[in-house]
Amino acid sequence: MNHFDPTQVGEAIGHYIGNAHIMLRKVMIFYLKEHNLNFTPEQLIILKRLRFENGLTQNEIAHHLLRDSASITRIIDGLEKRNLVVRKKIATDRRANQVFITEAGEDVLNRIFPLAMKLNAQFMEGLDESEIEVFKKVIGKILENASSVSEKVCHTEQS
């Protein structure tokens, strides 16, 4: 009988998710460079997030993207140097910055969006709508569970 054994590294869900992430990221970077677009997926995710929630603080961006503040700061530094975002101090909290996408940042997203959609379609090739919906539901549940475990573990470590 063939069953799932989470103790086997090759069968662990994290192994599959990690490998998928590495492969998708690698392909995306290569694909963008092939089209003379020198961006990382993380840079594009931040720009996309700001398109829909402009003016987030750096900490809010870090929270939404499940990243540490230092790595978000480095990514935003790079985007700011390219005039794709601007930072504005918050009057009530001098330590915090809001981040806003610029017109140039919007232009980048408009150029990249069709390419990203084409690539996404290639990633989903051979999957029907019901399989995609099941995948989204399952991965959503895994993320909920991981978040719950993370809160418990982090809370325990801080106590």
Q: Are residues 108 and 139 in the same domain?
A: no
For range 85-101, the mean pLDDT: 90
Q: Are residues 151 and 111 in the same domain?
A: no
Residue 83, domain extent: 9-125
| Cα–Cα distance for residue pair 137/47, rounded to 1 Å | 26
Write down the residue that tokens 């029907």 correspond to.
128
For range 56-63, the mean pLDDT: 93
How many other C-beta atoms are found inside a 10 Å radius of the C-beta of residue 132? 11
For range 10-37, the mean pLDDT: 89
Most confident of 5-9, 38-42, 79-83: 79-83
Domain CATH for 19: 1.10.10.10
| Cα–Cα distance for residue pair 59/63, rounded to 1 Å | 6
Q: Are residues 92 and 136 in the same domain?
A: no
For residue 66, name the pLDDT band (cuts at 50, 70, 90): confident
Q: Are residues 104 and 77 in the same domain?
A: yes
Q: Are residues 80 and 138 in the same domain?
A: no
Q: Is residue 151 part of a domain?
A: yes
| Cα–Cα distance for residue pair 71/87, rounded to 1 Å | 16
**Res 7 pLDDT > 70:** no
Number of independent structural domains in the chain:
2
For range 28-51, the mean pLDDT: 93
Q: Are residues 27 and 75 in the same domain?
A: yes
Q: Is the pTM of this model over 0.85?
A: no
Question: C-alpha distances in angstroms, 3 versus 9, 134, 138?
Answer: 14, 20, 18
